[in-house]
Amino acid sequence: MNLTFRLPKNRTGLILLFYALAIGISLVVRIALLIKSWGELDFSIVTLGGIFLFGLLSDILSTSYAAIPLALYLWLIPDRLFKTRVNKYVVNGLFFIIIFLLLFGAAAEWFFWDEFSGRFNFIAVDYLVYTTEVIGNITQSYPIGWLVLIMTILAATGVYFLRSAIARTFENQLPFRKRSILILAYGIMVYLFFLSFSNQYHRFSNNQYANELAGNGLYELFSAYRHNELNYDQFYASVETRQAFSTLRSLLKTPEATFTSDDPFNLERRIQHAGPEKKLNVVLISVESFSADFMEHFGNPKHITPFLDSLSEYSLLFTNLYATGTRTVRGLEALSLCIPPTPGQSIVRRPDNEGLFSLGKVFREKGYRSEYIYGGYGYFDNMNYFFSNNGYDVTDRTALKDSEIDYENIWGVADENLFTIVLRNMDTHTPERPVFAHVMTTSNHRPFTYPEGRIDIPSHTGRKGAVKYTDYAIGKFIREASKKPWFSNTIFVIVADHCASSAGKTELPIEKYHIPMLIYAPDHVQPGVMSRLMSQIDVGPTLLGLLNFSYTSRFFGYDMNMLEPGRERAFISTYQSLGYVKNHELIVLSPQFKTESFSVTASAELHANKDTTAVSEAIAWYESASYAFRHGLLK
């Protein structure tokens, strides 16, 4: 391998070498991911051309940003120091580090794609904040030691073969004046790139896999970090705020609800039910990454949820429920605040998220002890802070003694040990003060490890085993709870926080947001099936309705047992795209004020249409939710 004839005989050759390495490795990654996703793509000359042409542009943009530190170094170091033996070693060392990091990034992209079917995105940004959990997850999931060794050998080999090319760049001097002109031109180029391109430019296709392949992982990571929070009015289609709230007030009006004020921006309603309230304990279990299609009831033939499939026969089973997002914090936001997803970060992790109107607060006002119980460390994703400042007492894995932990990984204790906390907390309640416990599981998460001997699938072999273990743990908990004196006065709600995967050919594949919910209380809830379309934000109001609670509400969700037929809708989202599902239509609101309208077929295929009524409703819901949070109307 000899690149000496291609590079200039001065320090600018090092910049060109950096570009060649970065773009070359990125091209190899793109081809590898293309092969991996072969069955998901709609192949044509336009698709393949777009993947590689927009991909090349993505790589140039990413490399231009990444090369800034090297460019500054080469600009500032004087010629007399640049040509020294010490600096030659420094430059060779730098390229060893560069090649290693490029290879490490390539491997990380492969594994990230394997789990999320996309380039680095908002999830990657979130995980970088929690390095302990992420590094632990990586070391428990992958042979990281061997990978680092292989990348070290490859990087050293690369520098060895490039030594002549690198040496060539030391032959001629480049005066400071000329270097300054070049760095100024380079800076202008990078600044123009920054102004001219957003993370939407490579989304040329209706196939989401093609759009992801046309991106660049490093650029997407940088872009996701920049757009950690998005101001709705600045990026999305909107109407005059008063009009949005007027529309929303009409959408929120239901038979049991009466607005407490004529103020157009006041969404507070008095929810009134006749008859006595049912002061029953409530255990709401939000199951990590639990897609509806894991259950046999929804067509899964692998028998990985035997307990929940059996329990569904004795429960009120919700078959048309959709998660609001793709992250645990989105599910927690929807279940606790009953508000549509707002663009950017979940409210659980945003500043000024204290004192919000929450499900825990409603129960507390009814005399309950409201709890949030988590199997991991609650600082992750800001859970402890959010729940403790919004009406809940928080308990996490620190409540367990070492002797009470059968197994733990970086995300938390085994689910059966989590339920040990729940049983213990429930045992301490008194009839005069019932309990509302929101429980968050962790076992159905990579690295998919759990105690051996519980189920017939060995630990650390994949998602199916983790799902079956969580099903086992829930079954063990329900059986143990059934022996308790408080069991007959308790409602158990089992629902997912989000699906196991949100990847699909479209940016918002509706079927990838489909989650199950079971409400089990043999003495209080009649078994049956609720097949009406509903959103995760409707879970709270529906649960309160089952308890016949009258209360003052600021929720955006519906009590599905009171809502008139034809008014059902659901919300689905990524951190940028906001979806609104109603009457077999999907409205998608995206940055740059983009709106799209699709008809949804029985097989979840999308066909473009123009439903302006649904678009107006979608804008009203999302614009008002964003405004309400920013202006303190949810407190």
Which one, of 553, 590, 551, 594, lies nearest residue 573 by Cα?
Answer: 590
* Consecutive 10-residue averages of pLDDT for the chain (635 residues): 67 95 95 89 87 93 94 94 94 95 90 77 61 62 85 94 92 93 95 83 82 85 66 88 97 96 95 95 97 96 97 98 96 98 92 96 97 93 95 93 87 94 93 95 91 95 95 98 97 96 76 97 97 98 98 98 96 92 94 88 70 89 96 94
Asked if residue 351 lies in contact with residue 229, where contact means CB atoms within 8 angstroms, the answer is: no
* Residue 597 confidence (pLDDT): 92
Asked if residue 440 lies in contact with residue 284, where contact means CB atoms within 8 angstroms, the answer is: no
The pair of structure tokens assigned to 89 is 């070693």
* Residue 133 confidence (pLDDT): 53
**pTM of the entire predicted model:** 0.78
DSSP-assigned letter for residue 18: H
Per the DSSP assignment, residues forming a β-bridge with 284 are 438, 493
The stretches of 197-274 forming alpha helices (DSSP H) are 208-213, 217-226, 232-235, 241-252
* Residue 128 confidence (pLDDT): 60
Tell me how crowded residue 8 is: count the other CB atoms within 10 A of its CB.
Answer: 15
* Residue 465 confidence (pLDDT): 96
Instruction: Considering the chain, tell me which residue range(s) the CATH 3.40.720.10 domain(s) occupy.
Output: 235-630
Tell me how crowded residue 178 is: count the other CB atoms within 10 A of its CB.
Answer: 12
Q: How far apart are CA 470 and CA 449, in angstroms?
A: 11
Residue count of the chain: 635
Which one, of 501, 29, 12, 500, lies nearest residue 219 by Cα?
Answer: 29
Name 428's Cβ contacts closer than 8 Å, sequence gap at least 6: none
Q: Which top CATH class is 235-630?
A: alpha beta
Q: Are strands 316-322 and 528-530 parallel, antiparallel or unpaired?
A: parallel
The single residue listed with the structure tokens 């033939």 is 301
* Residue 381 confidence (pLDDT): 87
The pair of structure tokens assigned to 145 is 């030691």
Which one, of 64, 49, 59, lies nearest residue 24 by Cα?
Answer: 59
* Residue 336 confidence (pLDDT): 98
* HEC readout, 515-578: EEEEEECCCCCCCEEECCCEEHHHHHHHHHHHCCCCEEECCCCCCCCCCCCCCCCEEEECCCCE
Per the DSSP assignment, residues forming a β-bridge with 437 are 283, 371
Q: 3-class DSSP state for residue 203? A: coil
The pair of structure tokens assigned to 130 is 């929690």
* Residue 1 confidence (pLDDT): 44
Q: How far apart are CA 337 and CA 424, in angstroms?
A: 26
* Residue 215 confidence (pLDDT): 87
Q: How far apart are CA 434 and CA 452, in angstroms?
A: 35
Tell me how crowded residue 3 is: count the other CB atoms within 10 A of its CB.
Answer: 16
The stretches of 85-240 forming alpha helices (DSSP H) are 85-116, 122-129, 131-141, 144-168, 176-196, 208-213, 217-226, 232-235
The pair of structure tokens assigned to 499 is 């699906």
Name 621's Cβ contacts closer than 8 Å, sequence gap at least 6: 248, 251, 340, 556, 571, 580
Q: How far apart are CA 276 and CA 310, in angstroms?
A: 32
* Residue 264 confidence (pLDDT): 93
Name 87's Cβ contacts closer than 8 Å, sequence gap at least 6: 77, 81
Q: 3-class DSSP state for residue 293? A: helix
Q: What residue type is assigned to position 48 of the chain?
A: L
Q: How far apart are CA 575 and CA 166, in angstroms?
A: 43
